[in-house]
Structure 1
Amino acid sequence: MDCQKLQKKVRSIYGNSIRVTEKDGNIVLSGTLKKWEDIVGACSLCVDKKRRYHVINNLKLENTELPKMKLPHIQDQALEGRKPDVLVIGGGISGASIARELMKWKLDVLLAEKESDVAMHASGRNDGEVHPGIDLGKGTLKQHYVIAGNRMYGKICKELDVPFKRCGQYVGMMHWSELLPAYLYACQRKYMCGVSDTRVISGKTLRKREPHLNPDMKFAIYNSMAGSVCPYGLTIAYAENAVQNGAEVALNTAVLSMDVKDGKIRSVLTNRGRIYPEIVINAAGVFAEDVAEMAGDRFYSIHPRRGTNAILDKKAGKLMGGIASWKTLKKTSGHTKGGGIVHTAHDNLLVGPDAVETYEKENFATQASSIENNFKKQQGTVKELSQRDIITYFTGVRAPTFEEDFVIERGRKTKNLIHCAGIQSPGLTTAPAVAKDVAKMAAKMVSASHPVKKNESYNPYRKGVPRLREMSPEQRNKLIQKRPDYGVMICRCEEISKGEIVDALCSPLPVYTVDGVKKRVRPGMGRCQGGFCMPLVAEIISEVTGQPLEKVKKSGGDSYLLFGKTKAGDGK
């Protein structure tokens, strides 16, 4: 690498306040800039396309103090002195799937998640597409794992009892002049990159399958292996199955610092006590670089990227049965794939996401401009799209490296550390395959200190809560006769019964909040967004847990729903 050449290149655009140096075979940028977009741009200029080194961002944003990680309110010693074989940091899809895969060995596994539930960040705030891998270049870790992970989804979702639809993906083209390039592109992806389901279909075939797609589409690139899954539902299922097989999931548990000596993590301090793990797996999402810094092993940087999606009412779900977008083969600026429209696993339509660089790792606010831009673009996919059908929207923050690829490897300086970092789209798709490799790596590392045997009692099957809305009248009646609570309707929009809510509160990983129940069995996910059922859900939580209704929370922290009675009455 030529640091002087890179520095000259960066300074010619962003000024003389930047220094470009080399450290341990990687490029480090330091100095001060006025705009975050310029910081991202300067670091991106230094990326090596062959990925022979990483870019580390030490640039400061002028007159701005970057937000610190939000911490749980809980302070106790519940984990003091714990000595797990493996400490997994992060309760997203990566951490949860790795924890479950680790239970195939006889290991003491502890997963630490700083939020009040798993899947609270990127893993619960994405479009749920199981990608076919068509848009990824050969030779990247993303491309390697997306092919393997996609093909594992049918088996994984069957084992974990999670709804999954292999509905196919259409990328429509508007100009006949792009037919030959599109055909060559499809052949390259199919025969050279291993995306074997890629083919070009005619506009006539496209409209026969998806009649509401833009009639201006002349043809489309089609991938039959694309699908949709509930991302937070799958993450919860992974975590529950891990617990069923003996893992411990510690929620409201944030990693604060590490004691590292002689290239080894000796202990990890959390808000719930000090832990003494044999090895540590860093699956901390946008905070992966912070964990790497604590461990003395930071050789990459994360530049957070916001993405906003809108969920449409189920009546809009009739507009499309698969996943679709429109593209041009002309080169465009930016990193986003441009978003699209997804028919979700729960039969809504999802529109988005966009991609906006940000320095705020935990700002999930939604900007009106993001919704406007998403709809403006995707009306090129389905002209009948209407913002009037929006029932909710959400924003997630992705965790890309500047190389736009995953970091899956052992620590470079710290011996008992594994990085599972830079996991952005298609991280949901790659999770099963990544987890398999990371767990094998971890088991091998632990075996260096003591024998690690296969867990003969490992059970890959997790039975979810019965879904009343998917049953026939005969099945419903049979279940209600056995469990009368399943005959008490709580959420009419999503057809959720009291029995489903009670079972969710008695699951292997129960979360006694309204949002925790919502993510597990969907009360409040319909058109009214909990306007009618939220009070009923809160009452059931109070009933099952025995806690006063005023103590029931919407989510974590101090998100109490009630503050007491408005009228005391006469005490009778």
Structure 2
Amino acid sequence: MSFQSIRRQIETLSPGLTASEERGCIVLRGEVDDWQLAVRAGELAVDKKRYLGVINHITLKGFTQHREKPTIQDTELAGATPDVLIIGGGITGCAAARELTQYNLDILLVESKSDVACGASGANGGVVHVGINFSKKSQKHHYNQRGNRMYANLSKQLNVPFEQKGQTMLCLKSWEKIPVWLLKHKSIKMGIPGVQYLSREALLKHEPHIPDFVIGGMYMPIGGITNPYELTIAMAENAIQNGANIMLNTMVTDITEKDGHIESVLTNRGRIFPKLVINAAGIYADEIAEMAGDRTFTIHPRRGTDIITDKKVGYMVESSMGISPFAIMPHQLTVVPKNPVKRFRYYMKSLLGKNHTKGVGLIHSVHGNMLIGPNAVETPDREDTATYREEVASILEVQKQVAVGLSNADIIAYFTGVRAATYEEDFVVRKGIFTDNIIEAAGIQSPGLTAAPAIAEDVAKWAVDYLSQSTVIERNAHYNPNRQNPPKMSNLDDTARHALIKENPDYGIIICRCEEISKGEILDALNSELCVPTLDGIKRRLRPGMGRCQGGFCAPLITQIIAQHQNVSLSDVRKRSQDAVILYHTTKGGRL
């Protein structure tokens, strides 16, 4: 499509919108009353063959982005000169930090939130994707395939749960076998092994609780499940063990760039002078690229809500065929739209790699809960992590058709994440184009969890290649990729538990009854390489508060343990960030 055609479409979409060609990109400007018009304009401007990307400056009338900012203001990082500065503590940034510690480099990762994995990396279903719905030419396909193959070994190294028991896409009508066979043919071309159609009878051996209207399904054995925030935290801790530095509550507010070279990076904790910058800033990656003079893309936030059930209904997505190598193991189910026309479009988009979501699904988590979701909703707000009654109800309405017997009483929590989608619907993983000392790792939405380890390999290689131009980079002789977790009482047999309690009685004091978490484990987390002394920090590392009572019994006890360990008042302990106050003052004459 010619630029003139693109411009005409944009100008026709809404009065006042303009399109221009600048530095190899399509740049959009203007103001709209409906955010969907801004998104549509960005989609219309995409031409991957002729342009580097779409830079969408269209704003929504009356909307101002609110961003949670750290309350800390100090000079701890003033004058720091790291070899590599990584901006963003999601799974991509933490994976890159860990990968780079294989070399003798001064590595600094900064994260604006109070913990790593506070964005999309901590708010997704944990699916390790097959990747059948991506274009073979896309970076998503390339990194998903590499990353998928890395997970078995990676999970062992980091001591993080991972199950690779497949994914199934259900079919409702006989004619759906045709697009399924086409998808199977596509999988062969894409190098995805084992994809096959299973009849209802064969599928029942994997999933005995599928509803009566399912006639069969496409089974993809390389699909898997992990815990996304636990994996990100493990990567961060292993990076620290190998010499990296991680600074939380540290936001990049400006970048000084001159003649295509980053000279310094300003944060709320001082100005940094890095040799190289890795942009892994998630939903704010385009703003970092803009500051650095290297922007060729736009992040348009896409929110998605997931629902968590009680463990007692986790069996609804569990296989049970004894002679199968996948027996008695959970895997993901995806149900496509029931409307025949919409279903056909879904398959065709999958064949062409144009689906923006994998579809709302049922996922048996590695901890035994069932996760339901997510949906996909465009939003102007990059931090719109609220949950909405109507969206939850809509997700449940669809999935109750598949999870027969599921009731609202089985739901124990909801959460929403915001995906960092580009208009090209692909990753932006590359060396700097206009700025020489930056590496972009942007647009990392799904399958970012799967792809992150592979992305980190390339980012680390490019970083070393760049730094090697001015100095000799040597291997880290003390690098150890293995991370040993402190003991988890719920995973031990009685003999091991008794021995551990005899050695340290704190392991015998159960704080969270739902998840069987002891005081000793909480103290271990507070003494770890990346201590985050908040309720959510402990929750994300150990799972207290993730059971049926959602912290109703254990939260006061954990607050007290944190206060005692940190030697602070109970009123100083926070739920998440500094603004998330738990206790304000005494009541009824009591003491804090």
TM-score by length of 2: 0.94
Separation of aligned partners in 1, 2:171 and 2:63? 45
- What residue number does 2:561 align with? 540
- What residue number does 1:233 align with? 230
Letter in 1 for 2:68: K
Shift of 1:68: 4.0
User: Map of 1:127-526 to 2, 5 A cutoff?
Assistant: 127-189=125-187, 191-320=188-317, 321-327=330-336, 329-332=343-346, 335-526=356-547
Conserved in 2, the CA contact under 8 Å of 1:108 and 1:247? yes
Conserved in 1, the CA contact under 8 Å of 2:506 and 2:520? yes
Separation of aligned partners in 2, 1:548 and 1:449? 50
Conserved in 2, the CA contact under 8 Å of 1:207 and 1:215? no
Separation of aligned partners in 1, 2:216 and 2:20? 48
- What residue number does 2:39 align with? 40
Shift of 1:569: 6.9
Q: Helix, strand or coil: the match of 1:4?
A: helix
Letter in 2 for 1:158: K
RMSD: 1.6
Count of residues in correspondence between the two structures: 568
Letter in 1 for 2:478: S
* Stretch of structure 1 that moved more, 364-373 or 107-116: 364-373
Shift of 1:567: 4.1
Separation of aligned partners in 2, 1:51 and 1:324? 38
Separation of aligned partners in 2, 1:171 and 1:424? 21
Conserved in 1, the CA contact under 8 Å of 2:26 and 2:51? no
Conserved in 1, the CA contact under 8 Å of 2:26 and 2:54? yes
Separation of aligned partners in 1, 2:474 and 2:299? 36
- What residue number does 1:109 align with? 107
Q: Helix, strand or coil: the match of 1:267?
A: strand
TM-score by length of 1: 0.97
Shift of 1:547: 1.4
Shift of 1:52: 4.6
Separation of aligned partners in 1, 2:192 and 2:403? 26
Structure 1 residues 569 and 71, CA gap change in structure 2 (3 angstroms): closer
Conserved in 2, the CA contact under 8 Å of 1:51 and 1:403? no
Q: Helix, strand or coil: the match of 1:9?
A: helix
Letter in 2 for 1:7: R
Letter in 2 for 1:373: S
Letter in 2 for 1:22: E
Deviations 1:241-267 (A, max 9, x none): 000001000000000001111211111
- What residue number does 1:549 align with? 570
Structure 1 residues 491 and 90, CA gap change in structure 2 (3 angstroms): same
* Stretch of structure 1 that moved more, 212-221 or 84-93: 212-221
Separation of aligned partners in 2, 1:386 and 1:101? 44
Separation of aligned partners in 2, 1:219 and 1:10? 44
Shift of 1:132: 1.1
- What residue number does 2:8 align with? 8
Q: Helix, strand or coil: the match of 2:511?
A: strand
Separation of aligned partners in 1, 2:186 and 2:49? 20
Separation of aligned partners in 2, 1:260 and 1:309? 40
Separation of aligned partners in 2, 1:59 and 1:181? 38
Separation of aligned partners in 1, 2:444 and 2:78? 30
Deviations 1:285-343 (A, max 9, x none): 00001101111111110100000000000001111122101226511497332220110
Structure 1 residues 181 and 272, CA gap change in structure 2 (3 angstroms): same
Letter in 1 for 2:573: V
- For structure 1, the residue ranges without an aligned partner over 5 or more in a row are none
Separation of aligned partners in 2, 1:385 and 1:430? 32
- What residue number does 1:84 align with? 82
Separation of aligned partners in 2, 1:38 and 1:55? 15
Q: Helix, strand or coil: the match of 2:380?
A: coil
Q: Helix, strand or coil: the match of 1:394?
A: strand
Structure 1 residues 173 and 121, CA gap change in structure 2 (3 angstroms): same
Q: Helix, strand or coil: the match of 2:283?
A: helix
Separation of aligned partners in 2, 1:535 and 1:68? 31
Shift of 1:7: 1.5
Conserved in 1, the CA contact under 8 Å of 2:60 and 2:380? no
Separation of aligned partners in 1, 2:564 and 2:287? 41
Q: Helix, strand or coil: the match of 2:414?
A: strand
Match of 2:583 among 522, 545, 562: 562
Shift of 1:403: 0.3
Separation of aligned partners in 2, 1:514 and 1:424? 27
Deviations 1:426-473 (A, max 9, x none): 000001111111111111111112111111110001112311111111
Separation of aligned partners in 2, 1:551 and 1:265? 39
Separation of aligned partners in 2, 1:570 and 1:406? 52
Q: Helix, strand or coil: the match of 1:111?
A: strand
Letter in 1 for 2:113: E
Deviations 1:396-441 (A, max 9, x none): 0000100000001111111100000000000000011111111111
Shift of 1:364: 0.9
* Stretch of structure 1 that moved more, 134-143 or 557-566: 557-566
Separation of aligned partners in 2, 1:100 and 1:336? 29
Q: Helix, strand or coil: the match of 1:393?
A: strand
Conserved in 2, the CA contact under 8 Å of 1:307 and 1:397? yes
Structure 1 residues 569 and 343, CA gap change in structure 2 (3 angstroms): closer
Deviations 1:10-66 (A, max 9, x none): 333x1342212111111111122211001101110121255753111011222x233
